[in-house]
Chain A
Amino acid sequence: MFKPTLLTAAVFAALTSTAYADSITGTVTDTAGNPVANARVQLMGANGETRTDDNGRFVLAKVNAGDAELHIEASRFAHRNVHVDVPAAGLDNLSVVLFATTIETIDVKASPFHASATESSLPVNVLAGDALKMRQAATLGDTLKNEVGVHSNFYGGVSSSPIIRGLDGPRVLITQNGLDAGDASRVGPDHGVASEASTATQIEVLRGPATLFYGSGAIGGVVNVVDERAPTSSTPRAEWMLQRESVNNEKLVAGSAVNGTDMFAVYVDGFWRDSDNYSIPGFAESVPEQGAEKGKVENSGQTAKGGTVGASWLLDNGYVGMSYGRLEREYGIPGHSHGGHDDEEHAHEEEQVFADLTQNRWQLLSEINVDNSLIRAVNTRLAYTDYQHAEIENGVVGTTFANDSYEARVELLHRTFNHWRGGLSLHYKYSDFEAIGEEAFTPPSESKTLALAWVEERHFGHWLVQLGARVERVTIDASDMRLPDIAAHGHDEAEHGNDKEEHDHDHAEGLSRVFDVSQKFTPYSLSAGTVWDFAEGYNLGVSLSRSQRAPSAAEMLSFGAHIGTQSYEVGALFTLDGDEFVLNSQPVKLETANNLDITLRKFSGNTGFVLNAFYNQIDNYYYQQNTGLFAESGHSHDHGDEHDHAGELPVYLFTAADVRLHGFEAQYFWQINAPFKLTLQGDYIRARLKQGGELPRTPPLRISAELAYEQDAYSADLRASRYFKQDRTAALETATDGYTLLDASLSYRFNLGGQLLTAYLKGQNLTDEEARVHTSFLKDLTPLPGRSVALGLRGSF
């Protein structure tokens, strides 16, 4: 056994309580000297926190003598850090001036640091409050698609994932309260993200050192959906919303409530949304077939419902919360055509393919402040998620995906040490993934991750330095990886005529080789960033990072038809030998990204801007390379016709190549006068292979302008977004035309029976533009919805 003597001694030494100095009292004002009420004043690296009163005054008790750093934040003001030297007798009448800002500054919950749009060495996006309520959509990608640097991989309205700077899939980690969403959405674009925006309080997108607490695999970033399922206070409150949308007849009901006693808080939420096929201005398919009908995207309706119950035990020094949530969704999978259009008889037998998703999620969340000179807080997060979704064709379950996952993360935040703040995170994740059925393109696999991460930050005068490191051990085991004899073959359009023999593949040799695969990876990531406050109201952030990612089970082990992407997917453990797939003799390499990120911000006064430029050099980037071959989809569609071309899918092989991504994001804010605010933003990304050639589905250049009005009971906004033509395309990918979307909304707030109510009208794509999304797998099958008007009412008390 381990001899704990030394450690024990260290731990007990650390537990000796420290003597406190007195307190800090002070006033927070704006530049004009007016008091700022309800500002949050926090003692950094410790657990002290208070708020200012109506006169802007605050008292922060239990402060250690010596150096102290305060973080002050208030709505509509830039966050501010103040260094003070606290004498043993305490400090009185500290005066803090906050600068008004036009930039929304909401702290990211997922970071132990203060990370907001103006403070971090890397850009963060936070969508919260009314903005979130107005933008919430049925799918996560569509909810976030107007955030700068974030696009959606729009999958016919039924599913979508955020694309962060051109990266998605396994490179973007989706978390719910900091814990893996535990779904199958990283495996295929048609698999929904098991998370709901209508009951969330905040959705945040983060990159850089903060993501190291979540996973180094998140080269693209982390999207964290935050809700109050483990309530941190028992103040009674409730929120609800009702909405009806015209384009797809979506009806949405959602609500949440918190109540409790001094010691306990209870949370419940629930939502229900139901929609039909959505309307479009033209044909669904970019090259409509004869007899196709205009106006609707078939099979794009959905029904979803879910609910969560949670309870927290409120302690003097933190809380421990438990929750259970259940999510059910049934959604059509549009664009799932099987070529039944070959002849008249089958033209109207459109198959109904839909997915039925169920997820049960248990979470334990706890934050405990520790009265200890070494460690100041212990944050614990545990989750068990039981996810399953079945893809059903003509009433028969085709494929079932199941993902059972366990996760545990413990963060130990230390007390400020030599002005450094930070902590360690110990993280364990286990996922047992299974796909059963004819579309089981990935063999069952078990993935385990054990990780240790460390993040620190410190101010040096006008410089904030943020450092992070993470090392992981990832193991992926699959006992039945299959290599079937698929008779992949080239497809010469010319001979695609009537020669039945040509396509009559003989499966007599259909022997599958079977392999027991076990893989172990030790990726590590390092990150260093700085924010330089070079002038009042400005700062410059620079971040350098190197992160490694173990390829996912799907990227390595897949071998089979994937209807969601309309392709036959083959993992990186295989390679082509002539027309035949064999085991890859090259070693599986870690994907390694070296990133440079520069951010310049102006955040005080009536105008503000955030400019980001980034360069990512990703070596061994796993992407799907079109092999030019075709394979049978494996679907047994008995059309009474052996000559079934449509059952053939293009074969894509996961291949590692070195890629270079660079681009920029720009945001400009102008508070024209009290009610009017103008926001301009744009983003651009270039993603190419080092050896030449572009990556597929890269977001196009986008600019948008939003004019917002907010005064008294009314708020309104008008937004025009221009998506430019994307003609930097990968091999066998086609260019996509540009389009302009015009959105507008109008809200009216009023009080009724002690409730604050907001009635709103929201219009999207008001010009009824036909828009095809370059980042979508279904761009030629499902355009964006046409003109839509939503009417809603939400309330809170």
Chain B
Amino acid sequence: MLQPKLQKKLSLVALLVATSLLSACGDSTTNIVEKEPIAGDDEHDHGDDHDHGDISSVGRLVISAKDSNLLSVYELEDGSLLDTFAVADTPSALAASAGKRYALVVQRTTDRVEFVDGGLFQEDHVDHLHDYQQAPALSSFVLSDSRPTHISSTDSQTAVFFDGDGNSSTPAAVAVITDADITTDSNGYPVLHYTTHMHGAAQARGEYVLSTIRDANSATTLPDQVGLYHAHDDHFDEERVFTETCPGLHGSAQNAHVIAFGCTDGVLVITQEGETFTASKIANTDDFSGTMRIGTLVGAEHAEHLVGFAGSSMFAIHAEDGDMDLVDWQGGEGADIIGYGFADKGEKFVLLDNQGYLTILNYHGHAHDGAVEAEEPAFEFAAKVQLTSADVSTMPEGSRFELAISASDDKVYVTNPIDSTLLTVDIADAEVVSSKQLNFMPHKLVWLGIAEAAEAHDH
């Protein structure tokens, strides 16, 4: 009786095969591991300098592809593609962690933030800082909460505001993390839990976080107050709620001394002196007309001024003096600001607009800079760089130019989705110094790297 045995075996095999095959219909996976390169016909004389010891001072870029879950990490020393990572879903935003080692890969609609380790970082070896250069990697650290939206980082901390979701009655939350939390895949970082959802913002201040408050009965998802919270282990306790309101709150920033929030009627400024926090309001000036309001704020630790945007109008805000002055950035007709930030180690401020121009302003308002003349405007128009000759009306649907600013030198990087290029702009010389063809349509990008290289030292 050979046949029954044969049949039984076949049935078993068929069953096993069926279960193993049906598990992942239509799937494909590819694993590629790079091995040692081999020399061609000639001797090993490569002369490259990107992977044999020297640590990149120019930094790296993480660029996401349009409608894709893939992130490409480029070494800016030589423009080489170091690696590509797949995250769970198409990122809605990319942001740098506090130490600019990690890219936060925000996947808003799927309630997740993943982290890509850019591989460039410093460790404090007590008597010196030590620079490290590693291959980029996808971190196992993940934040999962409802609708992560605004990210704000200081030099040491990153606050991730999760908006929550009114439709599912999921309340908002704020996670405050450090690069060390990401590195060690910690779950000991503090989280602020709300009882209602809101499109809010938070600014981390060491043990404290200043974060927005929304009345659960409010008709809008925008908060209108700010609270001070103190971290205790894995959570925050409310210390106080500032009575100074901030209707329609949107936008926040901080520098060494103040934390500011944008309101429909002005800017709410909270000044920190040690452990004392004082709230005040800078009212909208005569430069504001109609529904104009500050909706975006930008700050840098050592910059005395904050920058506020009301539509395409730029304001220089001196919180301590209570001044809010309009800055003429010479925006062209119909130019909407889509990218901005302090650049060239705080010496400059750049504005990217939707017409494809990068506006460079010199900044003269460093704190404790004795040279500041009272009459001299804080931001002074320096140059405008046309980034592309392409017809900007051919911008693909859902795409725009995107900006990344180097923290280590005078370069900024702009992705142009029209022709899928990455442009390097030298803002000291005000020119596009290189254009690199990408093999995908870029979506978001962020710069990662070491802002100040450690000085040489002996081991």
Contacts and interface: CB of A to CB of B under 8 A. Distances in A.
Interface stretch (B26-34, B173-181, B224-232, B250-258): B26-34
B31 A450 contact: no
Contacts of B385: none
A577 B32 contact: no
Nearest to B439: A575
Contacts of A518: 30-31
Interface stretch (A58-66, A274-282, A584-592): A584-592
Contacts of A7: 8, 11-12, 15
A516 B32 contact: yes
B84 interface: yes
Contact of B70 (A12, A410, A520, A587): A587
A511 interface: yes
B321 to A, nearest CB: 49
B40 interface: yes
Interface in B11-48: 11-18, 20-47
Contacts of B23: 522
Given A515-B33, A523-B26, A585 B439 contact: yes
A524 B26 contact: yes
B439 A522 contact: no
B398 interface: no
A20 to B, nearest CB: 19
A576 B38 CA distance: 21
Interface residues of B, number: 55
A286 to B, nearest CB: 35
Contact of B438 (A11, A450, A452, A577): A577
B interface, by DSSP: helix, strand, loop or mixed? mixed
B440 interface: yes
Contact of B40 (A481, A512, A515, A575): A512
B33 A577 contact: no
A508 interface: yes
B3 interface: yes
Nearest to A2: B12
Contact of B8 (A11, A471, A482, A586): A11
A513 B12 contact: no
Residue of B30, B33, B70, B438 most packed against chain A (CB within 10 A)? B30
A511 B17 contact: no
Given A516-B35, A576-B439, A412 B40 contact: no
Classify chain A's interface size. 35 or more
A550 B40 contact: no
A7 B7 CA distance: 10
B65 interface: yes
B81 A513 contact: no
A481 B37 CA distance: 11
Interface in A48-105: none
B66 to A, nearest CB: 11
Interface string A1-22: 0101001101110110000000
B28 A511 contact: no
B86 interface: yes
B28 A471 contact: no
Given A412-B14, A519-B30, A519-B31, A513 B70 contact: no
Contacts of A519: 28-31
B437 interface: yes
Contact of B72 (A372, A508, A585): A585
A484 B40 contact: yes
B408 interface: no
Interface string B43-84: 111110000000000000000010010101000000011001
A518 B30 CA distance: 6
Nearest to B436: A578
B334 interface: no
A12 B26 contact: no
B26 A548 contact: yes
B4 interface: yes
Interface string A566-608: 0000000101111000111111111010000000000000000
A524 B10 contact: no
B371 interface: no
A627 to B, nearest CB: 12
B374 interface: no
B126 interface: no
A509 B28 CA distance: 34
A639 interface: no
Contacts of A576: 437, 439
Contact of A473 (B7, B15, B21, B72): B21
Given A471-B21, A485-B40, A582-B81, A515 B7 contact: no
B6 interface: yes
B84 A583 contact: yes
Interface string A463-479: 00000000111000000
B33 to A, nearest CB: 4
Given A410-B10, A517-B32, A450 B21 contact: yes
30 contacts: A11-B4, A11-B7, A14-B7, A15-B7, A368-B3, A370-B3, A378-B10, A412-B10, A424-B14, A426-B10, A426-B13, A451-B21, A452-B18, A484-B40, A507-B42, A509-B47, A513-B34, A515-B32, A517-B31, A517-B32, A518-B30, A520-B27, A520-B30, A583-B32, A585-B440, A586-B68, A586-B439, A587-B28, A587-B70, A588-B30
